[in-house]
Amino acid sequence: MTTTAEPLAAAAGSPLLELDGAVQADGIDVGVAAHYGSPNTEQRKLLAGTAIVDLSHRGVLSIAGPDRLTWLNSMSSQELRGLTPGQSTETLLLDPAGHLEYAIALIDDGVESWLLVEAAELPGLQAWLDRMRFTLRVQVVDHTLAYATIGTMAADPAALPLGPASPNGVPVVWHDPWSEVAPGGWQYAADTDHPGAAWHWTEVLIPRSALPALRDAIAAGTVQAAGLLALEALRIAAWRPRGALDADERTIPHELDWLRSAVHLNKGCYRGQETVAKVHNLGHPPRRLVLLHLDGSDSVLPAHGDEVQGDRFVANAAPERRTVGAITSSAIHYELGPIALAVIKRTVPGTVTLHVLSQGLSITASQEVIVPESAGSVAEIPRLPRLGVRVPRG
């Protein structure tokens, strides 16, 4: 899904890394702070709405032109034609077999559609969009060097000293739709108290030139800062998927319960739509997302890609431990302790205790079911009785 390309903006490092206590993240999040000295306290500040998260390493694309929304609508999973200026949504670009290629946070300001994406994915996404323009009246522009993304859970982001960019008169402020099932969407999670309901996440686009002033405001105590470790812990607890970590080349949206916010099941055709409809109506996704509560007695936090195993019980024999999936994201939550998201085989029962292999240790993990084994096959299709060969009587 991603490339190793690193935008210049991320390579330079954010001015917020100059704050006291800042520790830079690594991997796909290099260029911004993992934390500022106290990840657990930073989680509380985020939840209280008093802190911001530096996401200035992320990519920013815009699509201008009168055909932009109908064009994007024809290629991606969400219904985009009726977007009004300032309205937020998210959409997925799938390959012809329905596998996830790009997850896009999108907001339209009436003149341009703004796409907030992972830094490493931007070059590939921009190149693909340029190839698909044909004769349509659209123009794709990379604005990563001009604008930076800042995240917050504040109920009123306008109360923070951010100064959202408004290149066409409408502030570019994206509100994450994960907090509820979007129109045309579908939730597989059976829990009526979905933790996503408390996930009020907002991403604000600001001029990149404003980052030094934001750093100074944090240093002066006008606003507080939280790092990516705090954000990831809260995201994982909310069951919120992040494509760059929780998806791979085989992922279909059903496996991550992403029909909840990024797929419109009643829109027209788009690339991969046949797989989306077939699995949802007639089949089952081959894998499913789970939240794991990890045994923290060894003080080891599993990493992305660590193997997840489960016991297979056979009559009159010792249990046989087999690989059933892998860790996709992990964090230390301020209340829940060590937690992780993992993608495992759909047929693994939700009651089975799992084991994560990490740093030479086997870490016990209990499941919290997100996508159940029964996900899919929602169409009520009557089953006709089988007709065998009839032998005439007499």
Q: What is the pLDDT of residues 251-304, one digit of tens each?
A: 999 999 999 999 999 998 999 999 999 999 999 999 999 999 999 999 999 999
Residues 16 and 85 in one domain: yes
C-alpha 219: how far from its chain's center? 30
Host domain of residue 56: 8-253
Check whether residue 240 and residue 322 sit in a common domain. Answer: no
Joined together, the tokens standing for residue 158 give 């306008």
Residue with tokens 């979905």: 194
**Full DSSP string of 113-160:** EEEEE-GGGHHHHHHHHHHT-TTSS-EEEE-TTTEEEEEE--S-GGGS
Q: Verify that 220 and 291 share a domain, yes or no.
A: no
Shared domain for 222 and 132, answered yes or no, is yes
Q: Is the pTM of this model over 0.85?
A: yes
Number of domains in the chain: 2
The stretches in the chain having pLDDT less than 50 are 2-6, 387-391, 394
pLDDT digits 0-9 by tens, 7-36: 555 556 999 999 999 999 999 999 999 999
pLDDT in tens, 247-260: 999 999 999 999 99
User: Do residues 246 and 358 both lie within one domain?
Assistant: no
| Residue 380 within any structural domain of the chain | no
Angstrom CA distances, 338 to 172, 245, 335, 367, stand at 35, 17, 9, 13
Pair 248, 302 in one domain? no
Let me know if residue 390 belongs to a domain.
no
Read out DSSP for 357-368? EETTEEEEEEEE
Residue 381: count other Cβ atoms within 10 Å of its Cβ.
8
| Cβ–Cβ < 8 Å for 59, 117 | yes
Host H or E run for residue 82 = none
For residue 162, being part of any structural domain is answered with yes
In Å, how far from its chain's centre is CA 278?
23
Residues 214 and 333 reside in one and the same domain: no
- Asked, for residue 224, whether it belongs to a domain, the answer is yes
Cβ neighbours around 301 below 10 Å, total: 19
